Amino acid sequence: MQYFSTNGHAPLASFATAAATGQAPDGGLYFPESLPQHTWLQSSEWRSWTAAELALHVMQPYVGQSMPLQQLQAICADTVNFPFPLVPISPGIQSLELFHGPTLAFKDVGARFMSRCLAWYNRGSQQRITVLVATSGDTGGAVAHGFSGVEGVEVIILYPEGKVSPVQELQLTTCGPNVHALRMAGSFDDCQAIVKQAFTDAQLQQRYQLSSANSINVARWLPQQLYYFIAMQQWPPDAAPPVVVVPSGNFGNICAGMLARRTGLALGHFVAACNANDTIPHYLASGTLREQTAVATLSNAMDVARPSNFVRILQLMQHQHAQLLDWLSAYSISDATTSETIARVYRQHGYLLDPHAAVGYAAAELYLQQHPADTAIVLETAHPVKFPEVVAAATGQPVPLPASVQHLFALPSHATPLPATYDAFLQWMLER
């Protein structure tokens, strides 16, 4: 499998090169040159496979010959070694719970797959890989945990000051000595822009072997397909394909789901559930992709005004707006509706939504009002404990702290404050 740049001015790259470099040298995102067709989905045998077996079948065409099959098999097994249950919430709406991994967020899947790939590709090398990652909350924690203590790899995480929850901040500032957190005085978009610029900086390229752990990296983006396949193992084989509602910030998660459908998985229409950062809902309605500035919301991991992965969705749809509209709808959900939805679903159904899934649930309700015969799956992307103040204010009940994160509050937290400018970041990198 070869990968081309969405900007169209870079050489083709193998999976290993694309994973190690993160972003194409022309500033574009890597995209598979050809898409596999999973013909094994045409039989019923795959429904009885283990999650590890299913993951191997999905990922092998993308990795190709860049890794021995036995090594890929081990990586896939480590990536999906926790449950992904499909849980009914209300008539017509189910939750795909993606928060049962080590950092309680869906990004554990991509981060675990990518960290293990990079560690294997860099084995025996004398030069460390430096992974740059911008986070609006959950990516940083998942990447920090995935790479903590990994030999030959260091991680530098940029996150917006005051815009991540306490548990999220602890998850990305309490890891091993190879993980460094930069607390940026700005927005996630500022952090993301700095990371992107770093990959085009010749001075940094000479000094560091840079890679990215954001979903712009194929090794983090592509494995996000896996829980869509695992979800459909749990879906009745004779039922109509579900509408898939995805809380969407940088659009890597929903793009992975759309890729899974393109390669043969029987999924229905996709709904991008957005907060007040409504770049894509506006685009789908108007055909104009306007420049916006991110605004802070209760669903902070989705506070993205310039979603990087949307270019991959356009590529997947061959830049045909009509085809895109046939596959994708989008709604913008306010903070008031987010809080009301958390409270109402907890009161009526006893199910606790995090703010991002609440955005998804509200969007699912809007879509199902117009399509009452459909059934929806909402991706519950993070555990509610990562947003305790928001959830407790809506429900009137404190969120119980899972045992898996209690230890974080006893660990020393380390973060370096920086202005959200490229010059400040570059100076820090050069003076290290």
CA-to-CA distance for 95 and 345, rounded, in angstroms? 12
User: Residue 354 in contact with residue 381, Cβ under 8 Å?
Assistant: yes
Q: Residue 379: beta bridge partners? A: 96
User: Does 107 qualify as catalytic in the annotation?
Assistant: yes
Q: Can you list the alpha helix ranges (DSSP code H) found in 148-278?
A: 166-173, 188-198, 202-207, 218-221, 226-233, 252-262
Coil, strand or helix: which one is 241?
coil
User: Residue 247 in contact with residue 273, Cβ under 8 Å?
Assistant: yes
Q: Which residues of 66-99 are buried (b: 16+ CB within 10 A; e: fewer)?
A: bbeeeebbebbeebbeeebebeebeebbbbbbbb
Instruction: Say which amino acid occupies 282.
Output: H
User: Residue 395 in contact with residue 342, Cβ under 8 Å?
Assistant: yes
Catalytic, out of 107, 163, 196, 386:
107
User: Residue 211 in contact with residue 18, Cβ under 8 Å?
Assistant: no
Which residues are identified as catalytic?
107
